[in-house]
């Protein structure tokens, strides 16, 4: 068996020994959005650091544990905190949890993040449904020998974000009276925020929001045939679009402010999927 696949299998077997639970959907909670895990009917919690070989996050606001439980009747596994490429992990390490959640049984993936707005019609606190993405500024998670057990060598990427799921998110937002933007997400490696000229570049490339996660996870999930949905919390306008410098504290404050609205939306979407 290939080394990376063997590592995945070992993580999956370890988790299954600790937790008797088969999730149907997986949720990744971004910066400041971690408290959503409190809104689920929890069956089990497993810190990443307990899982041999598992990458663990060092970023404040990213707790670093799996929460298993129910949202309505839907069994979910929630990642409370993720690891990022800028922490020094290989890109394969960064997406290992996504692959593990698929192997645990999750066929649907809801990705969330905090992002900077590139579209000047956006403002801090907006939520954006991700319609497509640019992952070209980070290495491909599929580089190296293909893991045939997960997916094919040259996967199609024409609809990374599932349209039906996207429509469901829009319907739920409508019903809840939540204004939802739609746009393209671009992942840059970080950890520095962008220079004003880089922000202009991202905008020229057609992106509406910029962040340091998510797109590589979506590539891995798409490779495995998961149905993917992504929502960004626009915490700020990107550098150069305002006259203020940007800080992680501001990002956390704004995502904290939006948490309730965001939680409502995610909970409603998951309940409908159940
Ligand atoms: N840039 C990159 N990542 C981010 C930003 C930003 O402006 N805001 C929140 N995450």
* 8 phi/psi in degrees, rounded to 5: -60, -45
DSSP 179: -
- Decide: 232 in ligand 1 pocket, CB within 6 A: no
Helix 91-104 × helix 215-223 angle, to 10°? 50
pLDDT at 252: 85
Total domains in the fold of the chain = 1
pLDDT at 251: 84
For residues 261 and 234, is the Cβ–Cβ distance under 8 A?
Answer: no
pTM for this one?
0.95
- Decide: 207 in ligand 1 pocket, CB within 6 A: no
Instruction: Please choose, from the candidates 111, 101, 67, 85, the residue with its C-alpha nearest in 3D space to the C-alpha of residue 228.
Output: 111
The enclosing domain of 103 has a CATH number of: 3.40.50.1580
pLDDT at 21: 96
Preceding amide of 191 cis, omega within 30:
yes
Query: How confident is the prediction along the chain (274 residues), in pLDDT tens digits per residue?
Result: 588 899 999 999 999 999 999 999 999 998 767 677 777 999 999 999 999 888 886 666 556 899 999 999 999 999 998 999 999 999 999 999 999 999 999 999 999 999 999 999 999 999 999 999 999 999 999 999 999 999 999 999 999 999 999 999 999 999 999 999 999 999 999 999 999 999 999 999 999 999 999 999 999 999 999 999 999 999 999 988 988 888 888 888 888 889 889 999 999 999 999 8
Residue 246 CA: nearest ligand 1 atom is 7
Protein residue with least CA distance to atom 7, ligand 1: 116
pLDDT at 188: 98
Protein residue with least CA distance to atom 5, ligand 1: 116
Tell me which residue range forms the domain holding 15. 2-273
- Decide: 165 in ligand 1 pocket, CB within 6 A: no
């Amino acid at each position: 068996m290939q080394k990376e696949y063997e590592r995945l299998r070992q993580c999956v077997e370890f988790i299954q020994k600790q937790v008797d639970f088969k999730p149907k959907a997986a949720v990744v909670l971004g910066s400041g959005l971690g408290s959503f895990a409190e809104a689920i009917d929890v069956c089990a919690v497993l810190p990443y650091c307990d899982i041999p070989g598992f990458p663990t996050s060092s970023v404040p606001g990213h707790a670093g544990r799996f929460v298993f439980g129910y949202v309505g009747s839907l069994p979910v596994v929630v990642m409370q905190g993720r690891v990022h490429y800028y922490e020094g992990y290989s890109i394969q390490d960064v997406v290992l949890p996504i692959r593990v959640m698929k192997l645990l049984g999750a066929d649907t993936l809801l990705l969330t993040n905090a992002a900077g707005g590139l579209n000047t019609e956006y403002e801090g606190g907006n939520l954006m449904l991700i319609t497509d993405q640019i992952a070209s500024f980070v290495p491909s998670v599929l580089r190296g020998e293909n893991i045939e057990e997960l997916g094919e060598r040259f996967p199609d990427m024409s609809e990374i974000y599932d349209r039906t799921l996207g429509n469901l998110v829009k319907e739920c937002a409508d019903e809840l009276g939540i204004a939802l933007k739609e746009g393209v997400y671009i992942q840059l490696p970080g950890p520095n925020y962008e220079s004003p000229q880089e922000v202009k570049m991202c905008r020229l490339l057609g992106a509406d929001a910029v962040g340091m996660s998510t797109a590589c996870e979506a590539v891995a999930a798409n490779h495995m045939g998961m149905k993917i949905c992504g929502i960004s919390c626009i915490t700020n306008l990107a550098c150069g679009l305002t006259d203020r410098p940007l800080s992680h504290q501001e990002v956390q404050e704004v995502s904290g402010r939006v948490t309730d609205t965001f939680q409502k939306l995610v909970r409603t979407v998951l309940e409908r999927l159940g």
